[in-house]
Chain A
Amino acid sequence: MSNMIATRDAYGEVLIELGIENENVVALDADLSGSTKTSGFARKFPDRFFNMGIAEANMIGTAAGLAAAGKIPFASTFAIFAVGRAWEQVRQSVAYPKANVKIVATHSGVTVGEDGGSHQSVEDIAIMRAVPNMTVIVPADGVETRLAIRAAAAYRGPVYVRLGRNKVTTIFDDSYQFAIGKGCQLRGGNDLSFITTGLMTAQALAAAEQLQAKGISARVIHISTIKPLDEELILAAARETGAVVTAEEHSVIGGLGGAVAELLSERCPVPVKRVGIKDRFGLSGKAEDLLKYFGLLPENLVDAAKEVLLKK
């Protein structure tokens, strides 16, 4: 098990495997194939790869047409363009007809780094989650990305998979069983629950370790499928620990934190603290500096845990 791999690299690898296994798998990109890692598929299967140029709206529509012809298209670009530039195509051409299109977006969140706020998608989970028929998956590491991409290919219908640019800590081993719509408990605990997604799950595991040293027992629930949400797992965590801290590399509006707050406010009201980007755009900088700047480090989760425990 390698320790660090970027989720986009794992995507590039598994896409080639899927291409070998199923000739109906095709890929599209919008001039970012080297960055999104669809370039490996393009080299291996030039006839089944379509570079659509810098034209994301057309890429998504073309993917919908390929799906209508029985193909399993994977369309990739940066999250900001897949969700932003092509939003209405995703809605009308993909989600509304329930087209079998897999939108795998990379370079999500502030860890895009130096390119700055124009390229850092901090609202894509919220936007995709609001679209009917859409499944939204945010893998935590390379292992989970491979499994999530395979699950997306096997699932019939639109899927949005949110990946990152940088290497992230591998937290799952080969025994991990991924299923769309299922979260997983990575650490037991009774005082509060961290409910996290993407790279913030590794931060939550580190935070739980720090809290343990202070005598606080934190449960860590990883939610990779933000929609449909694993409601039972989240409700059980809320019931059994009585306090919840959510964390995501995304706006605190409408993402995982929003989804968890919606669920708990209706069915199991407990104190909730949402850790994420506080309704603002990103900035240029080094990824690690940005995580610190936006309060997405383990110590921020520790502080949030202490805060939520006071309300318990």
Chain B
Amino acid sequence: MKEIVAALQEKARGLRVDIIRTLHNSRSGHTGGSLSVIDMLAVLYFHKMRHKPEEPSWPGRDRLVLSKGHAAPAQYVALADAGYFPKEDLKTLRQLGSHLQGHPDSKGTPGVEVCTGSLGQGLSMANGMALGLRLDNSESRVYAILGDGELQEGQVWEALMAAAHYKIDNICILVDANGLQIDGEVATVMNVEPIAEKFRSFGCHVLEIDGHDIAAIVSALDEAEAVKGRPTAIIARTVKGKGVSFFENKASYHGVTPSDEELPRALECLETREYKKGETDI
């Protein structure tokens, strides 16, 4: 287990480097929320989920819905690293003609299951997928990742009500609770706390973890899989911009990408050995 955790930590570190390089290259996209969610994505794509990158439509796969679709760069670097498409494609993020749209688009990107990004809609779709899989007696599970700011959308609570009502236990909801949204602190803009109590009262089995603690993510996902008769929600407390000290906990880095000046410092924070002075590409 220790080796697995260490390997996943290293994987997450590498994916952070990819996020920084990809966003520096695209000069458009969401840095903070990509860095806060990447540890969860690393554990899901490289440990927990059953999937076949060479066969994205494999019926037996587990599904991931990134409802907080603005963190698309995090999903893209994970998918590229897993082998769904060449890493070269990351250089085309947000460009005309690229399959890597600003927000996840299932029509073009292998491994992206549905279109997300308009906040509040992902959990409903994840529920529908889970219900469909259940009708087929499939053992596949669905992972839905929401932001904490996203919880301000009423549709999330409609969907949560339905997940409990229909006893959807092949779904696991992960809340990337980084505490920040575009206009500032979630608690200041429109408080969503206490998140865990709210999810519990809506009928979920709730776990609260440090969303950057790889071992805690692994064990929470394992526990979620064992829960029957109701959905599980993992409230992951995270740091927006995690891993790059001068991005951390800053709402101002929500939709801002690393500048030329910031790139080497950001990579230094991530202790990448590959970085060579003057290199600005992915």
Q: Chain A, 66-99, contact with B by CB distance < 8 Å: what is the 0/1 string?
A: 1111110100000000000000110011001111
**Known interface pairs A93-B114, A97-B105, A97-B107; A68-B125 also in contact (CB < 8 Å):** yes
Q: Which residue of B is nearest A92, CB measured?
A: B118
The number of A-B residue pairs with CB atoms under 8 Å apart is 108
A48–B106 alpha-carbon span in the complex (Å): 25
CA distance A168 to B114 in the complex (A): 39
At the interface, yes or no: A212 with Cβ under 8 Å from chain B? Answer: no
Q: Interface segment, A6-14, A55-63, A231-239?
A: A55-63
Q: Is B25 interfacial (CB-CB < 8 Å)?
A: no
Which residues of chain B are within 8 angstroms of A69 by Cβ–Cβ distance?
128-133, 135-136
The answer to whether B121 and A89 have CB atoms under 8 Å apart is yes
| CB of B124 within 8 Å of the partner chain | yes
Is B131 within 8 A of A66, CB to CB? Answer: yes
- Is A269 part of the binding interface, using a Cβ–Cβ cutoff of 8 Å? no
Are A65 and B118 touching (Cβ within 8 A)?
Answer: no
Decide if A68 touches B107 in the complex (CB within 8 Å): no
Contact A68 B132 (CB under 8 A): yes
Q: Closest CB-CB distance, A63 to chain B, in whole Å?
A: 6
A48-B135, A62-B162, A69-B133 in contact; A88/B118 too (CB < 8 A)?
yes
Partner of A65, one of B107, B131, B154, B165: B131
Query: Is B159 a contact of A97 with CB atoms below 8 Å?
Result: no
By a CB distance below 8 angstroms, the chain A residues around B113 are 68
Assess whether B166 is interfacial by the CB under 8 Å rule.
yes
Contact A62 B124 (CB under 8 A): yes
A 19-48 contacts with B by CB, 8 A: 26, 47-48
B158 contacts chain A at the CB level, 8 A cutoff: yes
- Would B162 and A53 count as touching, CB distance under 8 A? yes
| Pairwise interchain contact B135-A93, C-beta atoms closer than 8 A | no
**A55, chain B: closest CB distance, angstroms:** 4
Interface-centre pick from A47, A55, A62, A92 (highest chain B CB count, 10 A): A62
Number of interface residues, chain A, beta carbon within 8 A:
30
In-complex Cβ contact of B124 among A26, A61, A70, A97 (8 A): A61
B135 in complex: contacting residue of A47, A57, A58, CB < 8 Å: A47
Decide: B124 and A93 in contact? CB cutoff 8 A: yes
Query: Is A93's CB under 8 angstroms from B125's CB?
Result: yes
B132 touches A65 (CB 8 A): yes
Smallest distance from the beta carbon of A248 to chain B beta carbons, Å?
30
Q: How far is the CA of A229 from the CA of B280 in the complex (A)?
A: 50
Contact across chains for A92 and B128 when beta carbons are under 8 A apart: no
Report the bound CA distance from A71 to B131 in whole Å.
Answer: 10
A57 to B124, CA, bound (A): 8
Residues of A within 8 A of B192 (CB): none
A64 within 8 A of B: yes
Question: Could you jot down 15 A-B contacts, CB within 8 Å?
Answer: A53-B158, A55-B161, A58-B155, A61-B125, A61-B159, A63-B128, A64-B124, A64-B128, A65-B132, A68-B128, A88-B121, A92-B117, A96-B115, A97-B106, A97-B114
**Chain A contacts to B: CB under 8 angstroms:** 26, 47-48, 50, 52-53, 55, 57-58, 60-71, 73, 88-89, 92-93, 96-99
A-B CB proximity, top 8 nearest: A65-B128, A61-B124, A69-B132, A58-B158, A65-B125, A55-B158, A62-B128, A66-B128
Contacts A62-B124, A66-B128 known; list 13 others, CB within 8 Å.
Answer: A26-B135, A48-B135, A53-B162, A57-B154, A62-B127, A65-B130, A68-B106, A68-B128, A68-B129, A68-B132, A88-B118, A89-B124, A92-B115
